[in-house]
Chain A
Amino acid sequence: MTAELELRRVSKVFGSGPTEVQALRDVDLRVEAGELVAVMGPSGSGKSTLLTIAGTLEEPTSGEVAVAGREVSRLSRNDRARLRRHSVGYVFQDFNLLAGLTAVENVALPLELDGVGARAAAASGLEALERMGLSEQADRYPDELSGGERQRVAIARAVVGERRVVLADEPTGALDSVNGEAVMRLLRAACQRGVAGVVVTHDAQLASWADRVVFLRDGRVVDQTGTSPGVESLLAPGPSS
């Protein structure tokens, strides 16, 4: 198995002096192709910072990030943007679809921006929509779709083409539980086809769709499922005991 996304000892500090905020501290995270990992933590735990750094939208203060096998810090600004367009897809809580484009145009857009011809991009877009069960809605505009359908379009847009990593920020936050479940089912299926997925959330029900749940507290990975902390860890003096 190859790690499509790898964060090694990543730290991020915002501001300096008395206003300094340490958003991430020595975070290690490795996500394989085909794996969906949930990063779970309360507001302010560093989840969103982790996602923007994993998506190469922000640089870490220290540590290394590798996406699709490439060390991000060694890439030029342009190469980094290209890597992002080509390999990374995003799913946001509020869908972020362009209102003036149809569903299929929204899905095909990242491919066109990446230099794929319009016809080939549209064909790939339609195929991605079909996998989300939305081929009938391909020519509709976002305001003609339900919330659940809009998020499915957003997932199609995130996985279209040769994306290797999908990053989702509370993707079901704006949906009811049945639609939220449908979205997670599709996101999981997309990962099982070989994409590495990370979903950040404070919601355990959402996190439970993941293969592995990583717990983030105060910018640190404190625990993850698939490991069993011993009883002795209870008696160790914690930060607030």
Chain B
Amino acid sequence: MSVRHALLALLSEGPKYGLQLRQEFEARTGEVWPLNIGQVYTTLQRLERDGLVESDDTEMDGPQKGFRITGAGRTELHEWLRTPSDDAIPPRDELVIKVLVAMGVPGVDVPGLLQVHRHRLVELMQRYTRLKGDALDDLGVALVVDAEIFRLDALIRWLDAADARVRRLPAPGAVKVGRVAPGPRRRLAARR
């Protein structure tokens, strides 16, 4: 997540103070990503250094110092909004890694392991769904909650697919992991 661009987006609405930026950032993102005030000021200093924001002509740092976006800042913000996020390379997903590793560990009940993770993810999803049930009128919260539910859903679907594949295996011990040439990561990279 780019705090830098999120702050530019908030400043594109008008000049704001640092503390106000932190509060608005948290409110708009459903308070899912807490931001510490030090991080806000460090980011603002860098944005100012790069000419993307300007501050009041006061020497004083702190809550009274106001910031506004520059022309260059607006250009940067709009370019960032349109730039696709880098989803071409699979992320190093901890859950995927755990399941892959578990295949090779003797004595691990893999479907049981998949269920432990499925259980946890479904419980998390129940919590987000409850949040959605309570907060219909807050668009920001609804969008963040939707994103989280869809992310969890993707993981659960992956677990279900992994479960089905593991159950179809011919015999115990026949699993070969990591011996596929040339490797999906390299193959995916080659397609870019």
Residues on A lying within 8 angstroms of B by beta carbon are: 40, 42, 181, 185, 188, 202, 204-205, 207-210, 213, 215, 217, 222-223, 225, 228-229, 233-241
Q: A213-B122, A241-B111 are in contact. List 7 more A-B contacts (CB 8 A).
A: A205-B153, A207-B122, A215-B119, A235-B107, A235-B108, A240-B110, A240-B166
- Verify A234–B116 contact, CB threshold 8 A: yes
Number of A-B contacts (CB under 8 A): 81
* A-B contacts, 20 listed (Cβ < 8 Å): A42-B163, A42-B164, A185-B133, A188-B133, A205-B149, A205-B153, A207-B122, A208-B126, A210-B126, A213-B126, A215-B119, A222-B115, A223-B115, A228-B119, A233-B112, A233-B116, A234-B112, A236-B112, A237-B107, A238-B111
Bound Cα distance from A230 to B81, whole angstroms: 44
- Verify B122–A204 contact, CB threshold 8 A: yes
B167 at the binding interface (Cβ < 8 Å): yes
Given known pairs A208-B129, A229-B116, the reply for A239 and B111 (CB within 8 Å) is yes
B128 at the binding interface (Cβ < 8 Å): yes
Distance in angstroms from B53 CB to nearest chain A CB is: 38
Bound Cα distance from A239 to B111, whole angstroms: 9
- Verify A225–B123 contact, CB threshold 8 A: yes
Residues of A within 8 A of B133 (CB): 185, 188, 209
Distance in angstroms from B100 CB to nearest chain A CB is: 15
- The interface size of chain B toward A, counting residues with CB under 8 Å, comes to 32
B159-174 interface with A by 8 A CB criterion: 160, 163-164, 166-167, 169, 172
Bound Cα distance from A229 to B122, whole angstroms: 14
Q: Mark B94-110, 1 if CB is under 8 A from A, else 0.
A: 00000000000001111
- Verify A237–B129 contact, CB threshold 8 A: no
Residues of A within 8 A of B123 (CB): 213, 225
Interface of chain B, helix or strand or loop or mixed? helix
Residues of A within 8 A of B119 (CB): 215, 223, 225, 228-229
Distance in angstroms from A73 CB to nearest chain B CB is: 32
B19 at the binding interface (Cβ < 8 Å): no
Of all chain B residues, the one with the shortest Cβ separation from A43 is: B164
- Verify B109–A225 contact, CB threshold 8 A: no
- Verify B111–A234 contact, CB threshold 8 A: no
Of all chain A residues, the one with the shortest Cβ separation from B146 is: A177
B37 at the binding interface (Cβ < 8 Å): no
Of all chain A residues, the one with the shortest Cβ separation from B150 is: A205
Distance in angstroms from A202 CB to nearest chain B CB is: 7
- Verify B112–A238 contact, CB threshold 8 A: yes
Residues of B within 8 A of A239 (CB): 111
Given known pairs A202-B160, A215-B119, A222-B115, the reply for A238 and B109 (CB within 8 Å) is yes
The 7 A-B pairs at the shortest CB distance, nearest first, are namely A238-B109, A208-B125, A208-B129, A204-B156, A241-B109, A208-B126, A238-B112
B27 at the binding interface (Cβ < 8 Å): no
- Verify B122–A240 contact, CB threshold 8 A: no
Given known pairs A222-B115, A225-B119, A234-B116, the reply for A241 and B126 (CB within 8 Å) is no
B9 at the binding interface (Cβ < 8 Å): no
Residues of B within 8 A of A217 (CB): 111, 115
Of all chain B residues, the one with the shortest Cβ separation from A203 is: B153
- Verify A235–B109 contact, CB threshold 8 A: yes
- Verify B110–A208 contact, CB threshold 8 A: no
B119-142 interface with A by 8 A CB criterion: 119, 121-123, 125-126, 128-129, 132-133
